C-alpha cells in the first residue's frame, strides 16, 4: 500500500506542471482556389487576412489543387498528396 501511495503521489506531482500550461489554439483559414498571392495584391484589399498573416504564420508555398473544391483541397492539405493519388475529386464520396 505504501508503494502505491508513493507512486500515486509522484505521478500527480509530475503531471501537475503539464496541466498548468495554457492551451494553444490554431486557426486555419482555407478558401478554395485562393492562392497566397491573391490576398497580397494591392488591387484586392484584404486587410484582415493580411493582418492575421503578419501577426501569425502563413503558408506561402501552398499550391492549389484541381479541382478547386473543398473536399479534395482539404484532403490534399491533410495528406500532402494530389487528388490523383488520394482519389477524391468531388465534394461527395464516390461509392462504386
**Residue given cell 492539405 in the structure block:** 77
Residue 21 reports pLDDT greater than 70 = yes
Q: Has residue 43 been placed in a domain?
A: yes
Q: What is the pLDDT of residues 66-86, one digit of tens each?
A: 878 888 888 888 899 999 999
Q: Has residue 80 been placed in a domain?
A: yes
Question: Domain range holding 60?
Answer: 24-96
Catalytic annotation, pick one of 7, 9, 70, 79: 70
70 among known catalytic residues: yes
Q: Has residue 5 been placed in a domain?
A: no
State how far the alpha carbon of 65 is from the alpha carbons of 24, 31, 34, 68, 82, in Å: 29, 12, 10, 6, 7
Give the pLDDT confidence score for residue 12 in this predicted structure: 64
- What contacts 24+ positions apart, CB below 8 Å, involve 74-80? 74/30, 77/30
Its pTM stands at 0.57
Amino acid at each position: 500500500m505504501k508503494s502505491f501511495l508513493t507512486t500515486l503521489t509522484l505521478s500527480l506531482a509530475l503531471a501537475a506542471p503539464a496541466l498548468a500550461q495554457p492551451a494553444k489554439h490554431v486557426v486555419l483559414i482555407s478558401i478554395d482556389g485562393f492562392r497566397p498571392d491573391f490576398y497580397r495584391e494591392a488591387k484586392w484589399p484584404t486587410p484582415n487576412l493580411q493582418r492575421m498573416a503578419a501577426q501569425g504564420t502563413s503558408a506561402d508555398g501552398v499550391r492549389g489543387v484541381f479541382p478547386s473544391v473543398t473536399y479534395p483541397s482539404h484532403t490534399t492539405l491533410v495528406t500532402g498528396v494530389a487528388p490523383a493519388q488520394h482519389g477524391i475529386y468531388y465534394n461527395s464520396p464516390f461509392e462504386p
